[in-house]
Amino acid sequence: MIDAHRQLLLAFATCLLLGLALPAIASDNPFAEEHVVLQISDNDPSKQTLILNVANNLLNHYGPDRVAVEVVAFGPGLRLLFENNTNQDRIQALVDQGVRFSACANTLTGMGRIIGHPPDLNPHAQIVDAGVVRIMELQQQDYSLIKP
């Protein structure tokens, strides 16, 4: 009896320890089996095309229900999420399939200091404190970080 009890305790402790090593998945998509954070921090406009292509490839390969994709933009890469960016329609199509877009507040503040006001953003952009911190949070939630 007491042994069974001890074994349950041991099993519980084991699961607890294992549980600590298994990060929780925070995602809008409860059925996602793959989780990817795509980073854009380059100035080069061809990187904007490339990151949207990569997001599309992920949706096509896994299916929109089985992959969670978040694009995190910071530094010069924030231009992807400017209101007047030429990729608005592609961003909309990706948002419609569940892709999230995050904009770095630190970059916004820095750019605002230079141009006199923060740039206007795509309405789908969610603002996060710091792009790099958002990326680390997602990595801890088992997201793969890929910078196209």
Report the interface residues with a copy of itself, using CB under 8 A.
3-4, 6-7, 10-11, 13-15, 17-18, 21-22, 34, 36, 39, 41, 43, 46, 50, 53-54, 57-58, 60-62, 74-76, 106, 110, 129-130, 132-133, 135-136, 139, 144-148
Residues 6+ apart with CB under 8 A from 65: 29, 31, 32, 98
Least separation, in Å, of the C-beta of 128 and a copy of itself? 11
Least separation, in Å, of the C-beta of 10 and a copy of itself? 6
Q: Which C-beta is closer to a copy of itself: that of 92 or that of 109?
A: 109
Q: Quote helix, strand, coil % in the chain, to nearest 5.
A: 50, 20, 30
Q: Which C-beta is closer to a copy of itself: that of 11 or that of 26?
A: 11
Q: Which C-beta is closer to a copy of itself: that of 18 or that of 115?
A: 18
Position of tokens 């820095």? 110
Give the Å distances, CA to CA, from 82 to 32, 57, 120.
Answer: 28, 23, 6
Least separation, in Å, of the C-beta of 133 and a copy of itself? 5
Q: Which C-beta is closer to a copy of itself: that of 39 or that of 122?
A: 39
* Cβ–Cβ under 8 Å, residues 95 and 104: no
* Cβ–Cβ under 8 Å, residues 140 and 23: yes
> Which DSSP letter does residue 79 get?
G
